[in-house]
Chain A
Amino acid sequence: MTQPLTDIADGTSREHGVEVRLEDLRRVYGNVTALDGLTLTLAPGELVTLLGPSGCGKTSALRLVAGLEEADGGRIVVGGQEVTNLPANKRGMGMVFQAYSLFPHMTARQNVAFGLRLRGVRDADRKRRAGDMLELVGLGAQADRFAHQMSGGQQQRVALARALAIEPQVLLLDEPLSALDAKVRAQLRDEIRRIQLKVGTTTLFVTHDQEEALAIADRVGVMRAGRLEQLASPNDVYARPATAFVAEFVGLSNRIPATVTDGVAEVLGMRLPLVDPATPSGDAMAIVRPEAFSLVGYSEADTTADPLVGFVIATAFLGAVSRVTVKLESATVLAQLPTSEARAYPAGTRVRLNLRTDPVLVSPLTTVGAKG
């Protein structure tokens, strides 16, 4: 049986969650290394997303924390207690799976009450608490429906309620929104964050959708091939990517040939400071976000020799912003502008780009081309 939560060793109350430490976790399947020394600490009450492509190890990490799989190396410490060798049913963690996890022969209420039942909570109390949890996730009216009578979004809400009903130390979410429609996804992800903030549980959220990851996390851990490439706030991961992989995985980016000389990069004829001043001199690829560009019309004063002069090839209307593809002499770039501005430059127009002088991330040419 799971320990009652009031017995947490260091006295941290559940209102503010517990600290979760992953130390050098390793996981090997046959001759494939899924996790290669993952180290990560979640502060009490924090929501950390693990973001990465398929096979990067994020799900393995989550399952190790849950106890559904055994680590081949490393430790997991929750609230000061080592749980590495503890079976899953003694870890006091709530888990939400990607799909299909509701018990089909039980109503929503019974599903949510299941964990309480296992803990010996009495019938009437169970029903009440289950009802409360379902209200919390907005499904009070559906309490007596079965899984097959509910939509995907509703099922995941029930799954969340079920995980929270046992007042877990840690909440684990394994791509909970991946199987849902886009609109439901956006709605539910905000709700999950709202509920998580309210309840205050330390949460680990795994996803391959970078928009999701950035939208709700306190910190984002970008993973690749079993390792953490960067662990930082969403803003930092987006605006100050630590590696080329992160820059390209998170958000859109342009790869433009550049030259590095003595700590300064020359990109499209402009001299820009470097994010990493230690970048060695030589040829390289600069990674530039679309919103770093702005457009002005071509004037007689501009010469075609200017590397920032080119033609508009296509425009994609995305609502408030538009993405304009511009063909320059040395590269084809994607620029992002407010739609009102982009309208002035239909396809075929000759334009001149302006590039913000922010520090730019540059990759030496040898590592460029190694994609996700």
Chain B
Amino acid sequence: MAAIEAAALGYPSTSPTRGSGPIHRRRRRLTLFRVIVFVVMGTFFLVPILAMFEFTTRGTGLGAARTLTAWRQIFDYPDLIDAIVVSLELAAITSIAGLLLLVPTMIWVRLRLPRLTRVIEFLCLLPLTVPAIVLVVGLAPVYAWVTYFFGSSTLTLAFAYVVLVLPYTYRVLDSGLSAIDVRTLAEAARSLGAGWGTVMWRIIAPNMRSALLNAALLSVALVLGEFTIASLLSFQNLQVAINFLGRANAGVSISVALASLFFAFVLLLALSFVGRRRPAPVQEEE
């Protein structure tokens, strides 16, 4: 729709030769606006990133050359490496567990328990209303039991993280499910003799690939950036480690922070290419 809007404004499909009419004038104003916005915003957002990069490549002493010492030193801090690894593991576990918990439930509710839709929606919106800082207050006693059963590994944070990602994953999965006609697909499969497991795993899930991927990667981004719960439950994850190290060695901590930022960015950028491409409309043969 935006393309048509753009086309309606004469952008970018107008031929470049004529440029006088009201539509061209509007297009030029719009382009100017867009350029200004992108440049200003781009500067605002890129400057701190650049500053981080600049900071981490400073040499010691006045006028020293740029150096990658800060980056190399990452490997001198085993605790930091551990924290990175743990965070990556947590990201993987959380995204998979979140999907395993939500996807079958949402499909099932759509097909068999439509009255629960509102309830599920509310429950998934709740974590936005109960902020992490508040949740952690109530989680502390719960985690006493968790460590009793599952030990005190940092990976137990996954239980809390699944809750944190619920609002985002729910929204993505919901629009993914809305885009495909779940009911018809399920009925067609069932009429051909498929069991529920087959329906979910082999019929519906493949049609939601981009939504699933989207949800997984959003979870990854969130987990990598999470600080509050880990810190206040006294676990060591990536952000906690960075924060801790920040007092001692700013350069290294900032370089890790920058790296994690880029990592998540590349992930999401790659995702945007995997997303459902609008198939070219098939021309009817005349």
8 A Cβ contacts from B146-191 to A: none
Picked from A54, A68, A72, A248, the residue with its CB within 8 Å of the CB of B283 is A54
Bound-state CA distance A28–B15 (Å) is 6
Contact A69 B23, CB 8 Å, known A53-B286, A372-B286 = yes
5 example contacts (A-B, Cβ-Cβ < 8 A) are as follows A29-B13, A54-B283, A69-B8, A69-B14, A70-B10
Bound-state CA distance A228–B283 (Å) is 22
**CB neighbours of B23 from chain A (8 A):** 69-70, 87
- CB of A30 within 8 A of CB of B15, answer yes
Contact A69 B10, CB 8 Å, known A29-B15, A85-B21, A87-B22 = yes
**CB neighbours of B10 from chain A (8 A):** 69-70
Q: Does A122 sit at the interface, judged by CB under 8 A?
A: no
**CB neighbours of B13 from chain A (8 A):** 29-30
- CB of B24 within 8 A of CB of A70, answer yes
* Nearest chain B residue, comparing its CB with the CB of A29: B13
Q: A72-B17, A87-B21 are in contact. List 8 more A-B contacts (CB 8 A).
A: A28-B15, A30-B13, A69-B10, A70-B10, A70-B18, A72-B15, A87-B23, A249-B286
* Chain B residues near A (Cβ < 8 Å): 8, 10, 13-15, 17-18, 20-24, 283, 286
Q: Does A371 sit at the interface, judged by CB under 8 A?
A: yes
Bound-state CA distance A54–B150 (Å) is 64
Bound-state CA distance A248–B285 (Å) is 13
**CB neighbours of A28 from chain B (8 A):** 15
Picked from A29, A53, A68, A248, the residue with its CB within 8 Å of the CB of B8 is A68
Distance between B24 CB and nearest chain A CB, rounded to angstroms:
7
Interface string of A54-96 (1 = CB under 8 A from B): 1000000000000011101000000000000101000000000
* Nearest chain B residue, comparing its CB with the CB of A27: B15
**CB neighbours of B18 from chain A (8 A):** 70, 72
Q: DSSP class of B's interface residues: helix, strand, loop or mixed?
A: loop
Bound-state CA distance A85–B22 (Å) is 8
Distance between B23 CB and nearest chain A CB, rounded to angstroms:
5
**CB neighbours of B21 from chain A (8 A):** 70, 85, 87
- CB of A371 within 8 A of CB of B22, answer no
- CB of B286 within 8 A of CB of A371, answer yes
Distance between B130 CB and nearest chain A CB, rounded to angstroms:
33
Bound-state CA distance A85–B21 (Å) is 6
* Chain A residues near B (Cβ < 8 Å): 28-30, 53-54, 68-70, 72, 85, 87, 248-249, 371-372
**CB neighbours of B22 from chain A (8 A):** 87
Counting residue pairs across A and B whose Cβ atoms lie within 8 Å, the total is: 31
**CB neighbours of B283 from chain A (8 A):** 54
**CB neighbours of B20 from chain A (8 A):** 85
Distance between B286 CB and nearest chain A CB, rounded to angstroms:
4
Distance between B159 CB and nearest chain A CB, rounded to angstroms:
42
* Nearest chain A residue, comparing its CB with the CB of B8: A68
From A28, A69, A70, A248, name the one whose CB has the most chain B CB atoms within 10 angstroms. Answer: A70
Picked from A53, A54, A70, A371, the residue with its CB within 8 Å of the CB of B14 is A70
* Nearest chain A residue, comparing its CB with the CB of B281: A54
Distance between B5 CB and nearest chain A CB, rounded to angstroms:
12
* Nearest chain A residue, comparing its CB with the CB of B13: A29
**CB neighbours of A70 from chain B (8 A):** 10, 14, 18, 21, 23-24
**CB neighbours of A68 from chain B (8 A):** 8
**CB neighbours of B24 from chain A (8 A):** 70
Bound-state CA distance A28–B22 (Å) is 17
Bound-state CA distance A68–B17 (Å) is 18
Bound-state CA distance A72–B24 (Å) is 12
**CB neighbours of A30 from chain B (8 A):** 13, 15
Distance between A229 CB and nearest chain B CB, rounded to angstroms:
14
Bound-state CA distance A68–B5 (Å) is 11
**CB neighbours of A87 from chain B (8 A):** 21-23
**CB neighbours of A72 from chain B (8 A):** 15, 17-18
* Nearest chain B residue, comparing its CB with the CB of A208: B284
* Nearest chain B residue, comparing its CB with the CB of A70: B21
Bound-state CA distance A341–B14 (Å) is 57
Distance between B20 CB and nearest chain A CB, rounded to angstroms:
8
**CB neighbours of A54 from chain B (8 A):** 283
Bound-state CA distance A43–B168 (Å) is 59
**CB neighbours of A249 from chain B (8 A):** 286
Bound-state CA distance A85–B17 (Å) is 15
**CB neighbours of B8 from chain A (8 A):** 68-69
Distance between B65 CB and nearest chain A CB, rounded to angstroms:
49
Bound-state CA distance A284–B8 (Å) is 45
Bound-state CA distance A85–B25 (Å) is 12
Bound-state CA distance A28–B286 (Å) is 24
Bound-state CA distance A348–B104 (Å) is 56
Distance between B206 CB and nearest chain A CB, rounded to angstroms:
30
Bound-state CA distance A68–B4 (Å) is 12
* Nearest chain B residue, comparing its CB with the CB of A28: B15
Bound-state CA distance A183–B8 (Å) is 32
**CB neighbours of A371 from chain B (8 A):** 286
**CB neighbours of B15 from chain A (8 A):** 28-30, 72
* Nearest chain A residue, comparing its CB with the CB of B24: A70
Instruction: Kindly list the 7 A-B residue pairs having the minimum CB-CB distance in the complex, ordered from nearest.
Output: A372-B286, A87-B22, A70-B21, A28-B15, A29-B13, A70-B23, A72-B15
